[in-house]
Amino acid sequence: MSGHSKWHSIQKKKGLADTKRGQVFTKMAKAISIAVKTGGGPDPEFNFQLRVAIDSAKAANMPKDNIDRAIARGAGEGVDGKQIEEVIYEGFGPGGSAILIQCLTDNRNRSIADVRIAMNKNGGNLGGQGTVMWMFDLKGLIVMESDLTDELELSLIEAGAEDIQVEDSVIEVTTGPTDLKQVLDIISGDVEHASLSYVSKEAVALQENDSEHLEKLIGALDDLDDVDTVYTNVM
């Protein structure tokens, strides 16, 4: 199976402003803390979500001390006493595009104020809960560099893969949210990315001008410390 790559779009949007190493580490530390809090504790052997977050941090060369502090914070051992939580804001961007803004924050008031300012300044409109969430499905997303053999494809499908796409020697596997771990467990090669991600049910195309404005908006959102990932329904 082949076609448009969801990961390439997500990766592009997520990486627009991730040029400052400190900002990258801050966001990864929050993701680790959230994984400890919601995924089943501080042991990556028993917490799949934490294992994925740690692997991503190591791939970005995040120092071990930073990782350990983030784990301790998620377990409630942080010295500042602040707890990180995940919040998702919804809205519309240029050309009527749908946007989900996933934040990891210790201050909801700060996060929504910053997101609203970025949206208003860049042609977006913040909506209420349920405004565009119905346009997306929560899916497991695995990206790896490997040759897609018939044997591997069959194994992935048997483990629960819903869709397999290949683009430029990169294999992208989409699973149901509960099947992510078992599909990931059968992969022996290097995994570039693995996470639960919001995937649009139906991708839409924008005019070139609207597309440029959307990229600017995503860049402004992604530059906010509390914003972890921005999802859209644009192909």
Q: What is the pLDDT of residues 56-113, one digit of tens each?
A: 888 778 899 999 988 888 887 655 557 788 899 999 999 999 999 999 888 999 999 9
pLDDT at 207: 93
Tell whether domain 6-74 is in CATH 1.10.10.10.
Answer: no
Tell me the pLDDT band of 122, cut-offs 50, 70 and 90: very high
Per residue in 138-156, pLDDT tens?
998 888 888 888 998 999 9
Domain with CATH 1.10.10.200 in the chain: 6-74
pLDDT at 15: 44
pTM of the model: 0.78
Q: What is the CATH number of domain 85-134+202-232?
A: 3.30.70.980
Tell me the pLDDT band of 20, cut-offs 50, 70 and 90: low
pLDDT at 1: 32
Strand duo 85-92 + 191-200: pairing: unpaired
The amino acid occupying position 197 is S
User: What does pLDDT average to over the chain?
Assistant: 84
Task: Classify 136-200 by CATH class.
Answer: alpha beta
DSSP helix, strand, coil percent of the chain (3-state; round to 5): 45, 25, 30
Domain with CATH 3.30.70.980 in the chain: 85-134+202-232, 136-200
- Burial classification of residue 134, based on how many CB atoms lie within 10 Å of its CB (0-12 exposed, 13-18 middle, 19 or more buried): exposed
Q: How far is CA 174 from CA 137, 177, 210, in A?
A: 11, 9, 28
What is the distance in angstroms between the CA of the first residue and the CA of the last residue of the chain?
Answer: 17
CA distance 216 to 141: 25
6 pLDDT exceeds 70? Answer: no
Query: Is the distance from CB of 124 to CB of 100 less than 8 angstroms?
Result: no
135 pLDDT exceeds 90? Answer: yes
